[in-house]
Chains A and B, each alone.
Chain A
Amino acid sequence: MDIAELKQKWAGQTFDTVSFEVDGSELVEFALACGETLPRYTDRSDDDFQAVPSYTSRYHGRRQLPEGFPVDMEQSFDGGKCVEWQAPIRPGDTLIGRSRIHDIFEKTGRSGGMMFIVHRMEFTNQRDELVSIVDWKMIQKLG
């Protein structure tokens, strides 16, 4: 498989767009279940009440990869998630999540080659402000 060719053909194009309504009680439950103690994340009456910085990692699009992407992801495993906070997310916000393949690269280890596919979801709010970026690494063994 030519990784460079795969990247050139598939990376960068938005293949899925989904909207999410932000619910205040869900923000509180998420925060408390993670052991959060700061009122700005756990108390809806706090003047600065908002989602914890990693909150958008809970959201998924309708599909993981573009239609027709030529790799069977049944054999892939989760390589982790990176969340970049950009601005506060508040209850009542409407978020738009746009998915694209951000990067495709190869690494070689003791057990052979592995392909990394970085699925990026960018979230904007109802004012079109970027509030969060979530990168999800999917790993597949090559060969």
Chain B
Amino acid sequence: MDEQNSISRYHDVEFGDELPEVRPDVSMATVRRFGKTTGMTFWRFTDHEKARASGLPGAIVPGIMSQGILVAMIHRWAPDATVHKIDTIFRAPLVVDSEPVCRGVVTDMDDENRTVEVDLTICNEEGETRVLGTAVVGF
């Protein structure tokens, strides 16, 4: 999203606004990069074969990385805003090397505090929700 289309003020937001979709990079290289810095280098995140052998659909993206991806999506939409709170539920595995889509929609607005609530999802290629959550964003 370029700067001209991003949101900078509370009054630019409307109830029901959709955040621009993001297709995050969840390649093995990026997940390993995330794992290297956070210590999350377990095979269930970094090795498809071992993950499948254990019954998973493949290596999975760490939940806290999915959470970070959603925060980054909010920042692209509203670069000057502050994410005060993000609550995420890791409903089902998000597979490494897949092509998920992140979406967000404004579901509540607080004029007094100049905050908005955003419902968030990460879906896989089949449109199934893997991660869902809500965020409170301040302007």
Task: Give chain A's interface residues, CB within 8 Å of chain B.
Answer: 26, 29-38, 41, 52-54, 57-58, 78-85, 135
Contacts and interface: CB of A to CB of B under 8 A. Distances in A.
Interface size class of B (residues with CB under 8 A): 20 to 34
Contacts of A84: 84-85
A34 B69 contact: yes
Given A80-B89, A82-B87, A54 B34 contact: no
A35 B24 contact: yes
B30 A33 contact: yes
B69 A35 contact: yes
Interface string B36-78: 1111100000000000000000000001110111011101100
A123 B71 CA distance: 19
Nearest to A82: B87
A36 B90 contact: no
Given A58-B64, A80-B89, A53 B83 contact: yes
A33 B63 contact: no
Contacts of B16: none
B37 A30 contact: yes
